[in-house]
Copies of this chain bind each other. A is one copy, B any other.
Amino acid sequence: MQLYNSLTRKKEEFIPIEKKKVRFYSCGQTVYEDAHIGNARTYSYWDVLVRYLRWRGYDVFWVQNFTDVGHLTDDADTGEDKIIKTAIAKDIQPMVLVEKQIRKFYEDMDKLNIQRADIYPRATGEIPEMIEFVKDLLAKEYAYEVNGTIYFDVTKFSNYGELSPTTYSEETVGARIAVNPEKKDPRDFALWIKAPEGHLMKWPSPWGMGYPGWHLECSVMSQKYLGTTLDIHAGGIDHLHLHHPNEIAQSEARTGQKFVNYWIHAAFLTVNGERMGKSKGNFILVRDLFKEFDPMVIRLFLVNSHYRKSVDFNNDAISQNQVLLDRIRTSLAALKQANGGKEKVLRESITRVTTDFIQAMDDDLNTVGAIQAIMQFVKSVNNAFDNERHLLAEASDLIVTLMGILGIDLHITDVQGVIPLHSLISLIIVLRNDLRNIKQFKLADEIRSKLIDIGIQLEDKPEGTIWKFKS
């Protein structure tokens, strides 16, 4: 498989450290507010990557963190802690906010069929490890203390900027010097931050009461569970220029070994052509989308563009994906009912879609190509209901499998009891018509009134009988 490695700025063959094992870390949510559609897009791709690698036989161990302390409103080590700020505004303890937001995060991701990582470490759960990390860097003189805050000294680390050579423009350097006179170099960043009087989340350390720097957290949480060198580290493109270079610097300074072999970054999502922003009123939360759209249609939209290209969310885009999903579901329903025949031409289509799917996915996770291959296959299937029954079954399973790798669960509506309910009522409606046909009007009328008792209302319309829940 080829992956575009942000570190080398080119597509490279993916070769894990240990054969068929993948150590994968993705930057997770800062749990102070609900997940928005941009978050969901990014996490959807990491889910697809994990599902695909596992399908190809890799043993993937996936860690994704929750940031519940230390992520400041301003990246230049100033500003307020996002969790604390929000908790104070809501007049609750920070950990009550964290608890609620993590629960909502899981609810949203579960609905989008984004599978869970193997471990979700929380920054507050790894404080001792973070302190040890900082002690090591001080001992190796990669860090220095100023008034209880520890900074990483980027000038000591020769490879700083390997991932992102253009991190600091003249302009930002100027701004940062002005902001923080404690730093020797404007690019230096805080590993451990002295807690001001009254600060809500803080821990004892050799340098007094403080809290970890946001960049430090990811290095600790990833390496604790995945080891010194990770195969893949994923994150949003916004982390390419500061968070990830800092992760590399502190990790490699400490261990003297490569931190990550493949860095992958997901692009942004825009809404009706504009970048999302709270002030713009176009900030779309995942949970709000569920009020309007089938979660699986949203999920298909989220992965139906290349992860390194930005995509626009708009009603047309959703409609187009709704059409695709309907086409697939219709085909699956037809496959289920088809009697089959003696043709065998589907064998060839099955081979082709598998090859095309793999070829697309192997090309830097080209999910668009993968979906096109599936749609092409659906077209073939729709002309092949005269094929042998086992081929029809195989085709059906394959569609479900391939869509499943993209995170679109085609089982969902079957298992939830929605279908049985609908089917049962349809069966009763047919029976009622049968009874009328054989002039058993009393029994037929009883059906109607008994359904009302259960809470279901039948309505006879010219085009047939429909049902709805009694309001």
Contact = CB atoms under 8 A, between A and B. Distances in A.
A99 B118 contact: yes
B434 A428 contact: no
Contacts of A424: 421, 424-425, 428, 454, 456
A443 interface: yes
A132 B204 CA distance: 8
A427 B455 contact: no
Contacts of A121: 95
A424 B431 CA distance: 13
A132 B202 CA distance: 13
A417 interface: yes
Given A417-B417, A421-B417, A427 B440 contact: no
Chain A contact surface mostly? helix
Interface string A395-412: 000000000000000000
A124 B125 contact: yes
A420 interface: yes
A103 interface: yes
A416 B469 CA distance: 12
Interface stretch (A262-270, A379-387, A445-453): A445-453
A438 interface: yes
Which size bracket describes the interface of A in this complex?
Answer: 35 or more
A436 interface: no
Interface string A320-353: 0000000000000100010000000000000000
Interface string A108-133: 00000000101111101101110010
Nearest to A93: B225
A437 to B, nearest CB: 10
Contacts of A438: 440, 443
14 contacts: A95-B119, A95-B225, A99-B120, A124-B125, A333-B453, A414-B455, A417-B417, A421-B421, A424-B428, A424-B454, A431-B431, A431-B443, A434-B443, A438-B443
B420 A418 contact: no
A78 interface: no
Contacts of A451: 427
A168 interface: no
A160 interface: no
A203 interface: yes
A376 interface: no
A423 interface: yes
A204 B128 contact: yes
Interface string A440-471: 10010001001101111000000000000000
Contacts of A425: 424
A96 interface: yes
A396 to B, nearest CB: 14
